[in-house]
Chain A
Amino acid sequence: MIQFNYICSFFLIVLGFYTIVTKYNLVKTVIGMSIMDYGVNLLIISIGYNPGGTAPIFTAGELTRASYFVDPIPQALTLTSIVIGACVTAMSMSLVIRMHETYGTLDTREIRRLRG
């Protein structure tokens, strides 16, 4: 059933892309970026998953060849990725607030002083 996770994660990534491309509200753009991030996080965590595996927490003596656990590296990667995702959201929201102050609108079609 792990395939379902993969499909879901790519669905989320594409949904994120879709949101960024089609929504003209800055806040929705930020939401789209977050959705994209969640999709990737789901993908990472799914890749490290072994059906029936235990948590990858052992002391040196307990670890044997027969130990069966989920891959710990993707979990560590996910943590990093979540932190980065949170930073992106925080940063983009702060930019959105300043842009709303400057431009008085959240519509991306009107925030286009730089073009050509």
Chain B
Amino acid sequence: MNFANMTDYHHFPIYAIMVLFLGAFIIAASGGKPSKNPNNPAGFRAWIALIATAASLCFLAALIKPVMLDGEVIAYWMGSRGISGGYAIGIALEVDALSLFFALLIATAVFVSAIYSIRYMVHDDCVPQYYVLYCLLAGGVLGLVLSGDIFNMFVMVEILTFAAVALTAFRTKVYGALEAAFKYLVVGCMGSTAILTGVILLYAQYHTLNLAQLASLIPGTMNNATKLAFAFLYIGFSTKAFIVPFHPLAADAHGAAPASISVLISGVLTKSGIYGIMRLTYFLFQTMGLGRMQFMLVFIGSVSMFVCVTMALAQHDFKRLLAYHSISQIGYVLAAVGLASALGVSAGLYHAMNHTLFKGLLFLAAGAVLHETGTTDLGKLGGLSKKMPHTTVLFLIGAFSISGVPPFNGFASKWMIYQASYQKAVDTGNIGFLLVTIIALVTSTLTLASFVKVSQSVFFGQLPKEYENVKEVPFGMRLAMGILAALCVVTGLFPKSVTALLTEPAAKAAANVGNYITSMGFKTSLPAVEVSFVEAGVWEPINWLLILCIALLGVTIVAVAGKYDHVSETTSENVETKYQLFYGGEENVYSQVGGGDLFWGFKHNWRHYFDFMHKLHSGVVNDYALWAVVALALAIVYMMIAL
């Protein structure tokens, strides 16, 4: 093998996966003894993980030009064993724009989280083992999205589930970590089994495991066994995406895992589930043309977004709240993808990307709070903005993004989702899709409400006595958050460029299944499809921002000239009465309005709903397993009837 051959970009996908597994191997082989440096107990292993993730990201970034811009589909046979007698006998990687899109998201999140981990994991034991699992998890997810072979997808699902469960239980002393890991393992294992069963049923029918070949064979030859396989596969990937009814697992797992892992579970694992569902519905079975299939995905997406946002409103733990929001946003993605229109898919993918960015940022901010104060209980925190100003600003950027406040990225993608769903409603004349628009809009406001709650009860309000000495987090952690925050702003300000560069090629790939099949060397009668992305509304974030800046500048100049803040505050203990808070003549005591007491007016009207939901999410693993079984049964029945 000569060098020129090795640098051919067709090898890059496998390199991207290999460096991560290689990193895991080297870290594991170097033994588990922590180094003596108190600022980095993992020693060089942390740097290996960082380099591996960075290399992986670079390899994938190098593919943007050929795959995204030129529209090439990279078909890569491992060991050059390809097709023989019309059947795929080798193991394949197949990278189209959709795969690459998800792979880029994953690699970015993994890289940023690795930067964060170095300083964040300082106080933990077993940090070397952490990095082994970390690289395994990253490699597993990347392998899943780049694989062209359905059994390999299953293997990667198992690797990532394993690593994720181990990392969830990693801080065994954290309240409920073991329990969360066990629940996740049980239901995740049911999901994996479902995927394996689906894979085997497909193999029994078509005697191949190659995705492209399956995609060329399945449509038109659907029988009950294929439908059964579809139901099993769908439920399997649903457990990975944590969509309803698997959302309680996400809440438990995200809450218990270290923040750097929560980023991966919410930003990366859920994406792998969404990717799996998209591969199934758009490519393998090509069922997205059916109204009933669209209905199913959109329905589940809408239910996810609404149920999880209300669950989040009722939470009093920072990370659990974020976890529920995570699934709520995944609901947006699923609903948009389920619309099966070009704009819908593009919007869904855009939102998936934004979700990785802002959710990662928020979890890292939660991790920063945990790192400094030792708790994430909303009832105990408060007033941290005076002690951690940078974290506060970064958190607010994340919070504005997820709540869809212009001009941040959450708004850009949600805005496309509203248009796509309303457009779909008008095109099909189906008032049900209109409901999706309304639910999405209302959910967005509820999301804002719960982030107001977080900012009031963590960063603003009054500072409790025990956190007087809290300091800002180390630079390494702020750097990681800063990268994500910058990406949140940039992707929000340039929606046109982002869609043109990333999401529209991916959406086109989802529409052009024929290309996916022929690139691998199989025959298909599917024609090439031209797709166009028509938007109904207008939104020019750059111009708006420009005007706002001019306006703000004007106001500020007037304000400063008018000696707006000419009186300085006093911060010493014996402050004059006039600098103390107003208590209506009562004694000045610590009186933070707790997170649980906010939005009473809303909760009171919905109290029956909240009581019901609270009882439903009982925390007993048997119940969650039962939900999984019922979901599987319903999926099977629905597929048998609908397809």
Contacts and interface: CB of A to CB of B under 8 A. Distances in A.
**A–B touching in complex (CB under 8 Å):** yes
Interface of A: 13, 16-17, 20-24, 26, 29, 33, 36-37, 40, 43-44, 47, 71, 73-74, 77, 80-81, 84, 87-88, 91-92, 95-96, 98-99, 102-103, 108-109, 111-116
A26 B204 CA distance: 34
B197 A102 contact: no
A43 B203 CA distance: 11
B405 interface: no
B620 interface: yes
A96 B172 CA distance: 12
Contact of A114 (B209, B619, B626): B619
A113 B619 contact: yes
Dominant secondary structure of chain A at its interface with chain B: helix
B189 A88 contact: yes
Nearest to B168: A95
B428 interface: no
B151 A113 contact: no
B261 interface: no
A10 to B, nearest CB: 9
B196 A81 contact: yes
A15 to B, nearest CB: 12
Interface residues of B, number: 47
B255 to A, nearest CB: 7
20 contacts: A21-B622, A21-B625, A29-B186, A37-B193, A40-B196, A40-B200, A43-B197, A44-B200, A47-B204, A81-B196, A84-B155, A95-B169, A95-B181, A99-B178, A102-B172, A108-B622, A112-B620, A114-B176, A114-B179, A114-B180
Given A40-B200, A81-B196, A33 B182 contact: no
B314 A116 contact: yes
Given A98-B178, A116-B614, A40 B185 contact: no
A32 to B, nearest CB: 9
B620 A95 contact: no
B315 to A, nearest CB: 8
Contact of B622 (A24, A36, A84): A24
Contacts, number: 119
B471 interface: no
B190 interface: yes
Interface of B: 151, 155, 158, 162, 165-166, 169, 172, 175-176, 178-183, 185-186, 189-190, 192-193, 196-197, 200, 203-204, 207, 209, 251-252, 255-256, 314-315, 320, 613-614, 617-622, 625-626, 629
A116 to B, nearest CB: 5
Contacts of B175: 113
Given A96-B182, A112-B179, A114-B255, A43 B200 contact: yes
A36 B193 contact: yes
A20 B617 contact: no
A3 B252 CA distance: 41
A109 to B, nearest CB: 6
B576 to A, nearest CB: 45
Given A98-B178, A114-B180, A17 B629 contact: yes
A94 to B, nearest CB: 9
Nearest to B151: A77
B179 A113 contact: yes
Considering the complex of A and B, which 9 residue pairs feature the smallest CB-CB distances, nearest first? Answer: A115-B619, A112-B619, A47-B204, A114-B176, A113-B176, A20-B625, A114-B252, A116-B614, A21-B626
Nearest to A37: B193
